[in-house]
Amino acid sequence: MLIGVIADDFTGASDIANTLARGTLPEGGLRTAQFSGVPSGPAPAGIEAGVIALKSRSAPVEEAVAQSVAALHWLKAQGCQQIIFKYCSTFDSTPAGNIGPVGEALAAALGATGVVACPAFPAVGRTIYQGHLFVQDRLLSESGMQNHPLTPMTDPDLRRFLARQCLGPVGHVPLPVVARGAAAVAAALAAAGGAGQVLCIVDAVSDADLLTIGAALDGVPLVTGGSGIALGLPRNFIRAGAAQGGTGAFTPAAGAAAILAGSCSGATRGQIDHYARTHPVYAIDVPQVMAGTVTAETLLAFIARHQETAPLCYSSGAPEVVRQIQDRFGRETVAARLDALFADTARALLERGYRRLVIAGGETSGAVAQAVCAAQGAEAMALGPEIDPGVPVLSVGSADAPVAMALKSGNFGAPDFFEKALRVMAGAA
């Protein structure tokens, strides 16, 4: 294994796994597998990039650091030459969050300084300019992310935000330096390391910038950022002759399908509205979940009544409604109960023969993916075709009867994402 990724949630893991597998050259990137947590044994033979999906984004700092360092040890034991710490392209965190501490802990373990920190993903509108993160044409703090139920992002200045989490100073490589090429970026990162800056925000407003940064990162032990930061990394290994590249075969999944949505993002709510025009949908009453009157059996009964039409169950809501529920029951308590509800529902769907599951929302995806992998007795998920930018199909289980999943980050996907995901899982172009 050449590249090892430590991802702080499951949707982000499939996002960067897709980037590494797709690559930028005709060879198709690296042979990539995604793992549910730190595997108990060695990686399958022939894997060139391994992505460990953790559920650590909202975890306490000590827990997130411990999980990430454990993942690092496993990846190094597989021979990985470069480690990527992957977090969200909207930098989902809090001032007391764990992006900075995990990044510094991994850097200390690898003896790295001047480590790039770049969540830019221009393909879905995430860009960094003068150290500030934009979503499309809006600052992060005006993009809707300020209303995130778990990690409200109210400061778009990544240097200032990250500095609140880090022990040391945070550096910055501005866009004019990136425009001068890979050598200039590499020199700037080396200078940042010499100045005692462990993590360094790097501007990027286009895929060309990410390719330049990727060339500058050839041979460095640690990279941090969103999935876009991996765009230029596979070709470093392919051009050096260390990787063969290429993608594996995809086996379509036939049979019944269901959609579970726990994201409250504007994009997901729009996708639910679009899907509801032609498909049955069930709005989960969260207070009734907290009271125990809405359970997995409630969702399963609805899904069974509409089995032939790929029904959708969702807990998504407008920001003001979500805040009221969190204020009433507690944010962490609500999140845990919904995660358990969706995981229990997914396990029961597998028992009833469902083989296509579309999941929306990072926390929801993590809970469901862990449940599915455990039920299938599998730690590795194979990469299938891309549905929309950043969202591939994942196959779990036996090659002759796989379970197909799509783990969609809240803000990702076109309005018709759910319909498209079901078609791609079934083998349609």
What's the chain's average pLDDT? 92
- For residue range 292-348, list pLDDT tens digits in order: 999 999 999 999 999 999 999 999 887 788 889 989 999 889 989 999 999 999 999
29, 231 Cβ separation under 8 angstroms: no
pTM of the model: 0.88
CB neighbours of residue 9 within 10 Å: 26
Placement of tokens 């003896």 in the chain: 111
- For residue range 400-423, list pLDDT tens digits in order: 778 999 999 888 899 999 999 999
Amino acid at 401: A
Q: Is the pLDDT of residue 32 over 80?
A: yes
Residues 6 or more apart in contact with residue 92 via CB below 8 angstroms: 57, 145, 148, 150, 151, 153, 362
Q: Is the pLDDT of residue 145 over 80?
A: no
How far is residue 204's CA from residue 212's CA, in Å, rounded to a whole number? 9
- pLDDT classification of 58: cutoffs 50, 70, 90: confident
The DSSP secondary-structure symbol of 148 reads -
Predicted local distance difference test score (pLDDT) of residue 38: 96
Amino acid at 226: G
Predicted local distance difference test score (pLDDT) of residue 148: 75
Q: What are residue 243's phi and psi, to 5 degrees?
A: -130, 145
- pLDDT classification of 27: cutoffs 50, 70, 90: low
| % pLDDT > 70, the chain | 98
- For residue range 155-179, list pLDDT tens digits in order: 899 999 999 999 999 999 999 999 9
- For residue range 43-57, list pLDDT tens digits in order: 988 899 999 999 999
223, 103 Cβ separation under 8 angstroms: no
Predicted local distance difference test score (pLDDT) of residue 390: 85
Nearest to 47 by CA among 29, 37, 32, 35: 32
Structure tokens belonging to residue 279? 């498909």
- pLDDT classification of 426: cutoffs 50, 70, 90: very high
Predicted local distance difference test score (pLDDT) of residue 25: 65
Residues 6 or more apart in contact with residue 95 via CB below 8 angstroms: 161, 164, 165
- For residue range 336-358, list pLDDT tens digits in order: 999 999 999 999 999 999 999 99
- For residue range 91-142, list pLDDT tens digits in order: 888 788 899 999 999 999 999 999 999 999 998 899 999 999 999 999 988 8
Q: Which phi-psi region, left, alpha or beta, contains residue 7 (left: φ > 0; alpha: ψ -120 to 50)?
A: beta
- For residue range 177-223, list pLDDT tens digits in order: 999 999 999 999 999 999 999 999 999 999 999 999 999 999 999 99
Nearest to 310 by CA among 425, 412, 429: 425
Nearest to 188 by CA among 171, 206, 163: 171
Residues 6 or more apart in contact with residue 339 via CB below 8 angstroms: 262, 363, 364, 366, 367
Complete domains list, the chain, with CATH: 3-239 (3.40.50.10840), 257-425 (3.40.980.20)
How far is residue 239's CA from residue 96's CA, in Å, rounded to a whole number? 41
Nearest to 89 by CA among 153, 180, 171: 153
How far is residue 83's CA from residue 110's CA, in Å, rounded to a whole number? 9
Q: Is the pLDDT of residue 248 over 70?
A: no
Predicted local distance difference test score (pLDDT) of residue 357: 97
How far is residue 427's CA from residue 380's CA, in Å, rounded to a whole number? 21
Q: Is the pLDDT of residue 28 over 90?
A: no
Amino acid at 424: V
Predicted local distance difference test score (pLDDT) of residue 429: 67
Q: What are residue 119's phi and psi, to 5 degrees?
A: -85, 10
